[in-house]
Structure formats: structure tokens, C-alpha cells
Amino acid sequence: MPVLSKIESEFQEKGFIPCIDVLTSEEVRNLRTNFNDLEEKIGKDNATYSLHNIHLENKWVLDTASHPNVLKPVTDILGPNVILLDSRFICKYPCHVENTEEVQHFVAWHQDVRYWGIDGDVVTAWIAVDDADVENGCMIVIPGTHKQGLVEHITSIEDGNLLSSNQSIPRHLVDVTKSTPCPLSAGQASLHHGFLIHGSEPNRSPRRRCGYVVRYVSTSAKPIEDPDRPRSFPSTVLLCGTDTFHNFKDNRPDWYKPNEM
């Protein structure tokens, strides 16, 4: 049997890797400045969940998704040939807990693979633009649940779910006694398996909580054909290695060069 790296071994056992140092302090400042400029231009309502797959038009976004300090552990898990499947900024702004009429944004318990329709492992990186902690609604995971396979999802009955399809795993299928917060300092990242059950609570702090979420797959992965739920992947980019399978189009901008890991 091949000898697993520490990253790959931990990922296989727990389904997630927390607190990976990715960005320097200067890179964090640049990332936050760029995001703040974009947030000011489009408004907070749009910045909450609407910044989807903007890596093809913004070099600073694709530079973050393809940062060598992110790709190194990703390639440890997926191998040397990696495609960016999808990316999105997710922002939670402070909620006023004393205002009972205000919708409090949260992310329901879910598995990423439920949405993506991929045959093959999906690794998600959550890159912190701001500090993310329990108070402002950092990600919470249920370790080891990636080994269960896909579980039932239903339509959420609670207002404020940030998931675009409003899906949620029924509470009786989630052992919350094993839930583990994943706090991150700005510039750190966590990785989690596409089958890992995870979610997050509302932001009850006076601080914004912004993260950049990137999905990665090996070039050997392929879309699942599902006529009841057709999917397209218009923003895929070969980030490193070579693609001999051609299951996804390489939409790389002219200015982007794949990494040599």
C-alpha cells in the first residue's frame, strides 16, 4: 500500500484539515482591500452570497484560489492534476439579536456533493478574508461524517439559510454532540471533503465574517448525468498538472498560467 502523507491521512480519517497558513499579512491586506472595494461597489446584500465564480474576471480572485499554499495540501489529497470546479465569496454581516424580525443568516447542515453532481472526490477550501470564530459564525463540522456517503437533504424550514437551494440535512441525522468549530484567522484556510456534514451559525458579533470558498477536483473526476437536475460547469480552470481526461472545459483566462507543483 502507498504511504500516505500526513495531510492525506488526516483528511481521510477526519474529513477536514483546519488552520492551514496560506497568505502572508501583506497578501491578507491586499485580499481584504480588493474585496472591500468590490463590496462597496455592489453593496452588502449582493456581497453576502452573490459573488459566484468571479475568478475568471478578477485576477486577484484566481490568484487566491491558485495560491501555492492552498494547492500544496490540495494536491497531497487529490494528486498533481487539479481543476478549480467552482468558487464563491460568502459573507455574514452582524445581526442584531435584539431585533426579532431581522432574518439571521446561517448555513444549514449539508454536504457539498449534494449540489455538485460529481463522480469523484471534491475538496473544498474555506479561505478566511476576515477572522472567523464562534462568535461571528465560523464553519462547524461533524468529523468523520464523510465516510457515511450522501445522506438525506430536505428543504429548510428556517428563514435565513444562505444555501442557494435552501437545502438542509434533517436534525435527527446530525449528531450535534460531535460538532467541532473550525475558527480561522484571516489568511488561513481549512479543507473539507465533499461528503463532510458541516454548517454555520448566525453572526452574533459586531464584525463581518467573510470567506472565499473554492471547490477542487482531480482531472479524473467527471460530471454526473442527471436529467432531473441538469448541471453545468462554466467556470472550471485547470490549476496545475495536465488533463488527459477532458471531462471539464479549461476556461482559463489568457493571463493565467497553470502552477507547477
Q: What integer pLDDT is reported at residue 96 of this predicted model?
A: 63
74: domain CATH number?
2.60.120.620
Whether 260 is covered by a domain: the verdict is: no
User: What pLDDT is recorded for position 168?
Assistant: 85
pLDDT of 215: 96
State which residues form the domain around 15. 6-104+116-133+183-194+205-240
Per the structure, the count of domains in the chain is: 1
Q: What is the CA radius of gyration of the chain?
A: 18
Determine, yes or no, domain membership for 156: no
Nearest alpha-carbon partner for 162 in 61, 233, 211, 91: 91
Asked if residue 65 belongs to a domain, the reply is yes
Residues in the chain where the model's pLDDT stays below 70: 1-4, 96-102, 164, 227-230, 260-261
Domain for residue 170, yes or no? no
Within a domain: 261: no
Residue 162 forms part of a structural domain: no
Q: Is residue 110 part of a domain?
A: no
- Return the number of other C-beta atoms located less than 10 Å from residue 33's C-beta: 11
Mark 90-107 as b/e (b = at least 16 C-beta within 10 Å): bbbbebeeeeeeeebbbb
161 domain-assigned: no
Q: In this predicted structure, what is the pLDDT of residue 245?
A: 97
Query: Which pLDDT score is estimated for 71?
Result: 97
